[in-house]
Structure 1
Amino acid sequence: MYIYGASGHGRVIIDLIESFEKIHGIFDDNPEKQEILGYPVLGAIPNHFIFKSSLFIAIGDNATRRRIALDLEDRVRFANIIHDSAIFSKRAYLGSGCVVMEGAIVKVNSTLGDQVIVNTGASIDHDCNIGDYVHIAPQATLCGGINVGEGSLIGANAIILPGVQIGKWCTVGAGSIVHQDIPDGHKWIGNKVMPQPVPMVVGK
């Protein structure tokens, strides 16, 4: 497997896979990144580089992960990673380029889109639909029947109550309790939505 990203999320992914997966190379656009956990960083991906195995984009920022995935989708197959301690229902669906980390739970009839992060100890209950480029942060809890739109961030220890619809490119603050729908591009802090929307990602 190749890894794109040599910062914090990159370290997490290396630590997650190195005991069972050969790491063929690590890329990062930042020329100051020379090494990560003992592995050399090869720099940016050359335009004509031929991938000999799958790639995982180890970047936590949803918009950046989206941009890179769209740039590379015609050149490489994206890897999925599910930690052995995670519980992933045989009746749940997983897109491409996703990671389900230690202790996370994804229940029956739930769907994860492409490039989704389900972080440590997060719980996604039955019949949830998680859009592309979403990040479910550590210990977040999604009850049944929830939709989370493309690019949204669900903060650590947040609780989303059953049936709530969260729009695209929303941010739910850490520890929040979401009890009603959130429109596209809005931020929810505590127990209420903020009055002004945050900027949305548009185009490629």
Structure 2
Amino acid sequence: MYIFGASGQARAIIDILDPDVKISGVFDDDPKIKDILGFKVNGPVPEDFEFDAPLFIAIGDNKRRKLLQERFQKRTSFGIIVHKSAIVSRRTTIGEGTVIMEGAIVKVNTFIGKQVIVNTSSSVDHDCVVGDYVHIAPQATLCGGAEIGEGTLVGANSTVLPGVKVGKWCTIAAGAVVSKNLPDGAIKRRQD
């Protein structure tokens, strides 16, 4: 597997990889970053580089992850990472490039799109739909049947109640409770 990214999210990804997973190379567009957790950072991906293993985009920013997916999608496939401590129903669909971190729970009949981060100790209940490029932050909870639109950030320790639909590219603050549908681009503050 190749890793794109050499900052905080990349450290978290490299740290949870099974020791049997071979990291074939690490890339980052910042030429000043030379090393990450003992792995050499090769700089930007050369235009003529041929991937011989899947790529994992280890970038926390949802918009940037989308741009990188679009940049590399014709050149490679994308890996899926599920930490061994995560509990994931075998009747769940997980899109390419997605990571499910330590202690996360993903229940039955849930669809998770591509390039999604299901972060540490978060919970995605039954029958949820999570769009592409979403980040479900640590300890966030999606109750049964919740729908989260593309690119949305579900903040740490927030809760989306059963059946609530959240639009695309929304921001849900840490600790917020979402009890009604949100339109595209909405910002849900904790006190709202």
TM-aligned CA deviation for residue 20 of structure 1: 2.3
TM-aligned CA deviation for residue 12 of structure 1: 0.5
How does 1:67-106 map onto structure 2 within 5 Å?
Answer: 67-106=67-106
For these two proteins, the number of residue pairs brought into alignment is 192
Find the aligned partners of 1:50 and 1:93 in 2 and give their Cα distance.
28
Asked if 1:139 is matched to 2:139, the reply is yes
* Contact kept in structure 2, 1:179 and 1:191, CA below 8 Å: no
Q: Which residue of 2 aligns with 1:6?
A: 6
How does 1:127-166 map onto structure 2 within 5 Å?
Answer: 127-166=127-166
Q: Which residue of 1 aligns with 2:25?
A: 25
SS in 2 for 1:97: coil
TM-aligned CA deviation for residue 191 of structure 1: 4.5
Q: Which residue of 2 aligns with 1:38?
A: 38
* Contact kept in structure 2, 1:115 and 1:134, CA below 8 Å: yes
Give per-residue Cα distances to partners, 1:76-98, cap 9 Å, x unaligned. 00000000100110111111000
Q: Which residue of 1 aligns with 2:52?
A: 52
Which ranges in structure 1 are unaligned for 5 or more consecutive residues? 193-204
- TM-score, with structure 1 as normaliser: 0.93
Give per-residue Cα distances to partners, 1:88-114, cap 9 Å, x unaligned. 101111110000000000000000000
Find the aligned partners of 2:132 and 2:151 in 1 and give their Cα distance.
6
Q: Which residue of 2 aligns with 1:173?
A: 173
- TM-score, with structure 2 as normaliser: 0.99
TM-aligned CA deviation for residue 19 of structure 1: 1.4
Find the aligned partners of 2:35 and 2:68 in 1 and give their Cα distance.
21
Find the aligned partners of 1:185 and 1:71 in 2 and give their Cα distance.
24
TM-aligned CA deviation for residue 190 of structure 1: 1.2
Q: Which residue of 2 aligns with 1:110?
A: 110
Flag the 1:97–1:185 CA change in 2: closer, same or farther, 3 A: same
Which amino acid in structure 2 is aligned with residue 149 of structure 1?
G
Sequence identity of aligned pairs in percent?
55
Asked if 1:63 is matched to 2:50, the reply is no
Which ranges in structure 2 are unaligned for 5 or more consecutive residues? none
Find the aligned partners of 1:160 and 1:131 in 2 and give their Cα distance.
14
Find the aligned partners of 2:16 and 2:152 in 1 and give their Cα distance.
24
Which amino acid in structure 2 is aligned with residue 157 of structure 1?
N
Find the aligned partners of 2:157 and 2:111 in 1 and give their Cα distance.
21
How does 1:176-195 map onto structure 2 within 5 Å?
Answer: 176-192=176-192
Find the aligned partners of 1:134 and 1:191 in 2 and give their Cα distance.
22
Find the aligned partners of 1:135 and 1:78 in 2 and give their Cα distance.
17
Find the aligned partners of 1:11 and 1:19 in 2 and give their Cα distance.
14
Q: Which residue of 1 aligns with 2:122?
A: 122
Which amino acid in structure 2 is aligned with residue 42 of structure 1?
N
Find the aligned partners of 1:48 and 1:85 in 2 and give their Cα distance.
38
TM-aligned CA deviation for residue 18 of structure 1: 5.2
Runs of 4+ in 1 over 3 A off after TM superposition: none
Find the aligned partners of 2:24 and 2:81 in 1 and give their Cα distance.
16
TM-aligned CA deviation for residue 28 of structure 1: 0.2
